[in-house]
Amino acid sequence: MNWLIGVLRSITELKVGLADVVDILTVALLIYALLALLRGSRAMQMMWGIVAIAGLYLVASTLKLITLSTILGYLLAFLPIAIIVLFQQEIRRMLSAFGSTAWFPRGRGQDEGPVMINELALAVQALAAKRTGALIALERHDSLSVWADTGIALESRFSYDLILNIFIPGTPLHDGAVIISGERIVAASCFLPLTIRHELSSELGSRHRAAIGLTEESDALVIVVSEETGIISLAVEQQLLRPLDETTLRNALAEHLYQLRPRREIDS
């Protein structure tokens, strides 16, 4: 730390103390966290657009382009409001992450996680065998309470039989997504945000688009069972891993849900 203070003093010729270094490092970490949060999302593209407008304003002011700089100046005056409107999802995610109980992890029995994963994989395989469409979101660090509130609250302990019964065709809970947090089924028949990515295959229906859409807004894992083909997919980090079977789904869930290791490639 002392060498860093010395370097800053030699560069800036200012009196730099420990508090100044902590201040700079904290701001740098916050900026890094913001960029990591926006990485790969539509908000990152919008942010670069805002940076481009600000840069153009500086150039116009330097070159004394009065009309252009005046227009851009008025446009930038509304920038704080625009940021709140454009980045409301990201701001919500950031606040949710800071207030998440994941900072203070609760104790989990060694066998609870694997048992839940095994039962979930078996239930999904059973649904796929019958070509029963299903959409199941699993909460990780980011809270899914916003989307759980759009459905019917269950607050039930997870079980194989309950998952199968929820997705029986024609029942009130069949349509929409099931949201799971830890060992609890929080809600069913929930609405998830649809992705607007145009490069997705036309073979992917609304369930797959909702699965990818939720991973664009949170770090959730989303399981999809296609009603037409019975193919099992897993949406993670804005990517769709498919086709999966009981074994590959179980392995992917164990990797991403609890251990959070780097994602392995699964052939599509």
Neighbours of 121 (CB within 10 A): 24
The predicted pLDDT at position 49 comes to 78
d(CA 86, CA 82): 6
145 and 175, same domain (yes or no): yes
43, part of any domain = yes
- Tell me the residue type at 264: R
pLDDT per position as a tens digit, 180-230: 998 899 999 999 988 887 777 777 888 999 999 999 888 899 999 998 899
From 74, 103, 132, the end of a domain falls on 103
Q: Range of 7's domain?
A: 2-103
53, part of any domain = yes
pLDDT per position as a tens digit, 168-193: 988 888 888 999 998 899 999 999 98
From 44, 68, 103, the end of a domain falls on 103
Q: Is the pLDDT of residue 134 over 60?
A: yes
33 and 148, same domain (yes or no): no
Please tell me whether residue 106 adopts helix, strand or coil conformation.
coil
Q: What is the band of 119 on the pLDDT scale with cuts at 50, 70, 90?
A: very high
The set of residues, in sequence order, having a beta carbon less than 8 Å from that of 190 and lying 6+ positions away, is 137, 147, 148, 150, 151, 176, 177, 178, 179
37 and 144, same domain (yes or no): no
98 and 131, same domain (yes or no): no
pTM value > 0.85: no
Exposure of 132 in the CB half-sphere (CA atoms within 13 A):
19
264, part of any domain = no
Q: Is the pLDDT of residue 103 over 50?
A: no
pLDDT per position as a tens digit, 4-60: 556 555 655 556 667 777 888 888 887 777 776 666 556 666 777 778 888 888 888
d(CA 194, CA 27): 33
167 and 50, same domain (yes or no): no
42 and 118, same domain (yes or no): no
Total of domains in the chain = 2
The predicted pLDDT at position 78 comes to 81
73 and 197, same domain (yes or no): no
123 and 92, same domain (yes or no): no
267, part of any domain = no
Q: Is the pLDDT of residue 110 over 60?
A: no
User: Which uninterrupted H or E stretch holds 187?
Assistant: strand 184-190
116 and 215, same domain (yes or no): yes
215, part of any domain = yes
139 and 88, same domain (yes or no): no
CATH of the domain at 152: 3.40.1700.10
d(CA 240, CA 234): 6
36 and 84, same domain (yes or no): yes
From 46, 71, 103, the end of a domain falls on 103
Edge to edge, what strands does the sheet with 184-190 contain? 152-157, 184-190, 177-181, 134-138, 221-225, 232-236, 239-244
122 and 252, same domain (yes or no): yes
